[in-house]
């Protein structure tokens, strides 16, 4: 049975118990609406650690569009069922006031990588991400934390933050999990209509092609996508597109 922890004080008290003595703690932070991509992170976490912790917190500070925050899928009962099925030890499930007692007055800012790609199109997004992740890591104090490579820019920023602030936590990237048609698993995929979902498969197909970034952008726009960017960086090609009201991201190794 997965034990639900809702407050920081409850978790701190629990960590003082003998059950945690000399045990390795693995941590997977999520915003819920769990899918196979999350499960792959969770299974790796369970296999590599003595104690597994998953958090579910839909972080309001990383949404630069309030409508996107309102639309974000919330499926707590199903999420809890999955965590229990895979025998996750603890679910950290805090409210916003627990995480932001200061109303986000203090925040983490990175001024290079966070300003390009998704950062250029979602102002303030990575400040919210880095701030909440730092808070969660400080609360849980895991030995290892797991992040999916679909959000590769996010992973690099979190890894860099941990190194910059000397956190003794191993940040472990895990491969992107794809649907059968190649679309990267995402909690937002469920918001696509049937027609949009069919169209979405063109995004990973073109992103992985040998075409140039400009050619890919042009073809996606002809198909009806709104393209934020198609760009290469550090041996990878990154892309972000909109289909209707849904924003999708992905990246591939070149």
Residues pairing with 230 in the sheet: 239
CATH topology of domain 187-249: 3.30.1300
For residue 11, the SS3 value is helix
Strands 90-92, 51-56: pairing is parallel
Element (H, E) at 251: strand 246-253
In angstroms, how far is CA 105 from the centroid of its own chain?
Answer: 23
Token pair of 75 as six digits: 């499926």
pLDDT of residue 245: 94
Task: Output the CA angle 188-128-68, nearest 5 degrees.
Answer: 30
Which two tokens mark 48? 């590599």
Quick one: tokens of 89? 């030890």
Catalytic residue among 38, 81, 178, 242: 38
CA distance linking residue 67 with residue 77, whole number of Å: 23
Write the class of the CATH domain 3-174. alpha beta
The answer to whether 242 is a known catalytic residue is: no
Determine contact, residues 134/161, Cβ cutoff 8 Å: yes
Two tokens at 140? 């849980």
Distance CA 40, CA 148 (A): 9
Report domain extents, the chain. Answer: 3-174, 187-249
Q: What is the pLDDT along the chain (254 residues), one digit of tens a residue?
A: 999 999 999 999 999 999 899 999 999 999 999 999 999 999 999 999 999 999 999 999 999 888 999 999 999 999 999 999 999 999 999 999 999 999 999 999 999 999 999 999 999 999 999 999 999 999 999 999 999 999 999 999 999 999 999 999 999 999 999 999 999 999 999 999 999 999 999 999 999 999 999 999 999 999 999 999 999 999 999 999 999 999 999 999 99
């Amino acid at each position: 049975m997965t034990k639900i922890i809702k407050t920081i004080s409850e978790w701190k008290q629990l960590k003082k118990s003998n059950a945690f003595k000399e045990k390795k703690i693995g941590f997977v932070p999520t915003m819920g609406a769990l899918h196979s991509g999350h499960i792959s992170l969770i299974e790796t976490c369970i296999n590599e650690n003595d104690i597994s912790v998953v958090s579910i917190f839909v972080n309001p500070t990383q949404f630069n569009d309030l409508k996107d925050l309102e639309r974000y899928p919330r499926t707590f009962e199903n999420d809890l069922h999955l965590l229990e099925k895979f025998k996750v030890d603890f679910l950290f499930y805090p409210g916003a006031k627990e995480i932001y007692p200061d109303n986000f007055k203090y925040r983490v800012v990175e001024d290079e990588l966070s300003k390009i790609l998704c950062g250029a199109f979602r102002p303030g997004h990575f400040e919210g991400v880095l701030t909440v992740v730092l808070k969660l890591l400080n609360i849980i104090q895991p030995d290892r934390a797991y992040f999916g490579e679909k959000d590769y820019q996010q992973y690099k920023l979190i890894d860099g933050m941990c190194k910059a602030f000397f956190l003794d936590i191993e940040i472990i990237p895990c491969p992107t999990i794809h649907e059968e048609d190649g679309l990267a698993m995402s909690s937002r995929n469920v918001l696509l209509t049937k027609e949009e979902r069919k169209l979405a498969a063109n995004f990973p197909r073109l992103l992985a092609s040998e075409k140039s970034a400009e050619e890919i952008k042009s073809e996606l726009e002809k198909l009806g996508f709104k393209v934020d960017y198609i760009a290469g960086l550090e041996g990878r090609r990154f892309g972000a597109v909109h289909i209707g009201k849904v924003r999708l991201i992905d990246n591939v190794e070149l």
